Structure 1
Amino acid sequence: MKLTSLQNRLSRSLLAGWLVWSLAILGSLWWVIDHEIEELLDETLVESAEIIAGLLAYDAAALRLDDSDTRALPAAEHSERLIWQITNLAGRIALRSHRAPDTPLALPTTSGLSYDASHRWRVFSLRLPGAPDLVLHVGQETAEREEAAVEAARYAAATALCIGILVMLWTRLRLRRELAPLDAFSAAIRDYDPLARDYRLPPASHAELQPVRDAIEGLATRLAQRVENERAFSAHAAHALRTPLAGLDAQLAVAQREAPAIIQPRLAQARQAAGRLQRVVTALLALFRSGSDLHPQRFRMSDLAASLGFSGLQLQVEGAEWLDGDPDLIAAALMNLIDNSARHHATIVRLHVADSPEAAITIADDGSGIEPGHISRLNEALSTRDYAGHTGLGLMLADMVARIHGGRLEILTPDAGCTVTLHLGPPANRAPVPAAGL
């Protein structure tokens, strides 16, 4: 299941909130600007009409209608934002601006703001002072008024949109920076080994992370204590079993010499089982001594192989003569791996030693081997350290020894028999590192 990203959810929430906020602000701006522009333009009409009426009042008699044609005010051709007409009460035009319609606007004769019958013009009507039978109409096209409102709203909306985008980008940047400590804390937790005595989680960088750090430290302390108890129990149990097993093997050896020939095979099998158990106990003692810390030294591989004590198997050592590592832990791993070879009917086990570019011991036998389909599952379990239900005790112990040395255990796919490589890593990686608990 894909987990939801907190940063993505917050970003989406901020984006949705920003969109709603922007639409609300834009709607409000549109309404306010439209209202204010409309009011401003109306005031412009009223003031223009009052100015024109005041100027014309000085010679209102000259505007008396006669039988002549409608007159237009002489003026050069120009862009006229406002048009005006002077009509009598009957609706005839006495004078008009050059762009004003030459037909009277269908308007009331009373003073005030209104639209003409076609709704094309917004007009302010005013009785001329000194000429009560004449009416001044000052108008502006409705389309031009609407265009002015739209332009004002568009510029305001574009400005608000740019500001909103900048705020959104700044918010995302701040959000990313505020969440950066979570990534750093996650990296510290990923590298945190509760069993490492010289490593602790770094101090919390924010107050919200302090409870999480305290909880992880508490959990790590309990886990480390439990692992230490299991190690101590395993070491004590192995030590307690070692002496009785040695005595049992001695008694079986005496019994085998004195027993009739008919039961000799059974006693031999019992001695083999007791020897196998002794090797497991020895491996446990080596692995769990003093917290499983690494004690590296240089040793001869042939001497180590001779000390393993396998009867009935031919051990052949090849490759490098000397090796750097913990001989006790490596011996414990080899005992378990060679014991697996013996249980799978091997008669010859070859130990190939390499010391560069990394130290490694390859154990190859002529036994019955492992099914190829099972090898990939075993390697996956070893890679993820998912031992339970997938690997036996021998492979698990050998992999733990390899990891203590900074390497890993790998099962190869040979043409015959079984081949396992105990990678010990380069010498720089072989520092005292606690092993994982059982």
Structure 2
Amino acid sequence: MSEQAPISIRRRLLTLVIATVAVLWAITAIMSYIRTHHEIDELFDAQLAQSAHVLLAQSGHDSDEIEIEFDEQFHKYEKKIAFQIWDKENKLLLRSNSAPISPLSATNDGFSDIQIEGHPWRIFSHWDAQHKLHIQVGERHDVRNELIQGIAVQLLYPILFALPALAFLIWISISQGLSPIKRVARDVAQRAPQHLAPLDTSHVPEEIQPLTDALNGLFARLEQAFDHERQFTADAAHELRTPLAALKTQAQVAKRATDDATRQHALEQLDLGVDRATHLVEQLLTLARLDPEIGLGKREPVDLQGLAVSVLSYLAPEAIAKHIDLSLTPHSLINVSGDSAALGILLRNLVDNAIRYTPEGGKITVEIMTENGHTVLSVTDTGPGITAEDQQRVFERFYRGMGTRAMGSGLGLSIAKRIAELHGAVITLGAPKNGSGLRVMVSFQ
């Protein structure tokens, strides 16, 4: 399938402006033509009336002195102009060579339009003051139409010659007006991939200010994303280097062992190292998928109570192995809008962290409740808790508090916080109401 050609703003503006000017010019020309046509008709009617009065004044003599004249043609319009003079007995006293012997019009007084020999005529009829002489003066509409057509042509000539010149000037003006966009595009095109500094907007026109602001916002987000990725890559490389080095060391020990006990111990340590590396890679992959810029997929109502039952059932073997009392406080049905898979990862990380850091014989309680109109998911354990200083840093990637001996990657709480942010929730740390330990609360807005 062929790609659609890009739309040219310059061409679109030129088309719209020229079309608007042409339409307005055409409307003006038509209105001018109609108005001119009316004024010319008025002028010619006035001339007919004036000619009639002049002829009447010149004919104010005895009837015996009036003779038929104008046998010779002097002008091309002579055949298109005619007059007749009648007496009160309807006797034709005088007529032009172009006038018939019958009355020009049946109208005795005023203007009328008739057809003579297939041509439209404009006739003016008038009696003198004594009602003795009746004059009829007429002219063919051709005389008027030729003049009107000549005026119309004169109106069209400027349009035909001015529109191309106007289009050229508008094209130059639009090109000059769009030059700031070209300058911004050139600035962006010439940038190196790692150059994400904001664009200079000091000389940017008001119309493209939103575009440059949006680009600068995009550059800032890209810079932040790249910084996070660089930090993430560096931290991941550092964290992976340690278990891989340990795996290699244990493999070498097992290879060089001279007795079965040493070899068995090295293999057990190798197995634990593989488990830790596997857990770390899984956490890294989970964290990589949770991109705040992309957001969540389709949201749907999630039953937190049912989700908690599923997660606790999955982690129950680990809690049983450490003789930890893992419980879920019963509560009425509470739903939140979100991604059930992501929320399952959030709760699993919180409970998994609690199992790792709670000593044997401890207690972990998961509770879902409503506080101040917000749904709250809490995980409470009887472990050593987190100091106030560490509470500010435990959400950082790969950070593990001082004196931590439990196996982990330092990504559990970071992943939980990322998922909470994607759901518009707030995650906080605190101490249980009774006794020592840690209480993690996720408040959905």
Q: Report the TM-score when normalising by structure 2.
A: 0.48
Q: Report the TM-score when normalising by structure 1.
A: 0.49
